[in-house]
Amino acid sequence: MMLLKRFGYTWIFGLMILISCSKDDDSPATPTPTPAPPSSSGIVAPTGIYTRKVLLEYHTAAWCGTCPDAFSKRDQVMNAFPGKVIPVEIHQSDGMQIPLFMTIDATFGSNPASGMVNRVPSLGTVLLNRTQWMSNVTVQTGTAAKCGLAINSTIDGNSLAVEVQAAYKEALAGNYAITVYLTAMNVSGTGSQFDQVNSYNNDPSSSYYHLGNPITGFKHQYVVKKVLTANMGDAIAASELIAGGLTKKNFTADITGMDAAELYLVAFVTKNGTSATTYEVLNVQRAKAGVLQNWN
């Protein structure tokens, strides 16, 4: 009888241990940390498939009454070729002029409400009237891309770190450079250095009809704020200008006083010439500051 009781106690004790273990197994496990979302992988390997885009560098000034029509022509071209036209605005003798203007003026000339389409001449001149933009953009978008670009950047307080890469589909002979502009949208200010003179205030056919002359508080678009390279670009090593070749550049920009949400980077590869009419932009890319733009 004692043996039976002892056996029963042992069996009950073992059952309690088993139940205890079963409860432990059923209880929630120690939580594992939620995996952090993967950080941006950065610029991927070049794809070799690149869209031919067009750089529209146009001159403007707050005091230029015909410039609003240039803005309309810019928008028309962009709408006709969505995603393929990248405009930049170079200001002259107003509150938005930067040293780049002097370099561009000395190299290609300048004229507000006119601009360059991939820095390629038409009818013997590289500085094209706004009425010529559409036809010349049409020609340029119809040519094959010889290279592509990718841009990545990060914002840390008042500092913008930038990486730009260019990849080449074929060997290129000559002198080439890569240029990086920091541009801003919705730039405005007070007074004649920023308010836009508007010769179309009384023209009902204009998008700027009855907006005022000048247009106070006008928001200027695609304004070049800084050049992260030399004004005419940083030279690309000949050893990189081969089929499958790759150029990598890194920059840091001080963006103190700028609205980071309005900043964009524009990078392009140029074949440098010896006169105003012998340059050519091979391709161009645009990316919002702090946002990765891979090859496309």
- Is residue 148 within 8 A of residue 295, CB to CB? The reply is yes
The pLDDT of residue 41 is 56
Domain for residue 27, yes or no? Answer: no
The pLDDT of residue 155 is 98
Domain for residue 296, yes or no? Answer: no
Number of domains in the chain: 1
Q: What is the DSSP letter of 239?
A: G
Q: Which residues pair with 148 in a beta bridge?
A: 167
User: Within a 13 Å sphere around the CA of 164, how many CA atoms are in the beta-carbon half?
Assistant: 30
Domain for residue 47, yes or no? Answer: no
If you search the block for the tokens 């930038």, which residue do you land on?
Answer: 162
The pLDDT of residue 14 is 41
Domain for residue 87, yes or no? Answer: yes
CATH number at 230 reads: 2.60.40.10
Tell me if residue 222 falls in helix, strand or coil: coil
Domain for residue 174, yes or no? Answer: yes
Domain for residue 76, yes or no? Answer: yes
The pLDDT of residue 28 is 35
Domain for residue 208, yes or no? Answer: yes
The pLDDT of residue 1 is 43
Domain for residue 241, yes or no? Answer: yes
Tell me if residue 178 falls in helix, strand or coil: strand
Helices (H) and strands (E) in the chain, counts: 4, 12
pTM of the model: 0.86
Q: Which domain holds residue 111?
A: 54-288
pLDDT along the chain (296 residues), means of 10: 40 38 36 34 92 99 99 98 98 99 98 99 98 99 98 98 98 98 98 99 98 99 99 99 98 98 99 98 99 98
Tell me if residue 94 falls in helix, strand or coil: coil
